[in-house]
Amino acid sequence: MAAKIYITGSGGIVGRHALRALAELAPGAKVIRNTADLTNLPETAAAVAAAGPLDLVIHLAAMVPVAQVNADPARAYAVNAGGTMNLLSALAGSPARMLLCSSSHVYASQDAPIAETAETTPVTVYGQSKLMAEQAALEICAAAGRSLCIGRLFSIHDPEQTGSYLRPSLEKRFAEADPEAAFELYGAEGLRDFLTARDAARYLVRLALSDAEGVVNVASGKPVTVAGFAQSLAPFPLKITPLGQSNNLVADVSRLREILGECNA
């Protein structure tokens, strides 16, 4: 089991759950939380050097919220792709294994469950920035002989989420909605693969602590409509009126199950 683990993004929703998972699943490990600005290479290099010899790096840090990414795409690329490159540059000479948290947004919508071998054709800036991070990590780690696992995270939710994520956006609307009125919902009929942030973090940590390499979908493998997800959270029956175009992002989790077993988080 890894003796010294360096984790980025530990202050985020998934990161906080990952710290709890590490305390349970790797109780003897020393966990070092990154505090450096990953867009600053000298600062990142200094932080990694100060950490000393590392066995495992869990890279969760990312710029995710759609509104922020669309408002400042340059920053999104700098954080998601550039930050990954800087972290790997800082690790030059270290044999540490890496778990890179990526996203289902590298895929295009498909009617069938999406396997890791599916074509990557992101349609958003966020997806493009995460795919760039993946490609850089694959090439840099291959050149360095570094073990790399890429966990492509599908739709997550958590009670502590805020901002423009789906769950807090819905909960805010529920608080203000008239139960008797129509509830307009964009993409209501689209299928998603929802997973709690706690379970997602545990899967990522278990993958990190394994010897799995390459891309692994991190999801439930259970399709749920956006409308069904909304209703599962709503405090009253929703009279949903679908709006806009619906698309599907559901994972084939065969590889995740093969690596981790039945995947009971």
Active site residues: 126
Residues 6+ apart with CB under 8 A from 61: 8, 9, 12, 15, 34, 38, 79, 83
Return the closest-CA partner of residue 32 out of 13, 10, 16, 62.
10
CA distance 182 to 184: 6
- What tokens does 224 get? 């749920």
CA distance 261 to 265: 10
3-state per-residue secondary structure call for 144-194 = HCCCEEEEEECEEECCCCCCCCHHHHHHHHHHHCCCCCEEEEECCCCEECE
CA distance 186 to 203: 30
Bridge partner list, 151: 101, 216
Length of the chain, in residues:
265
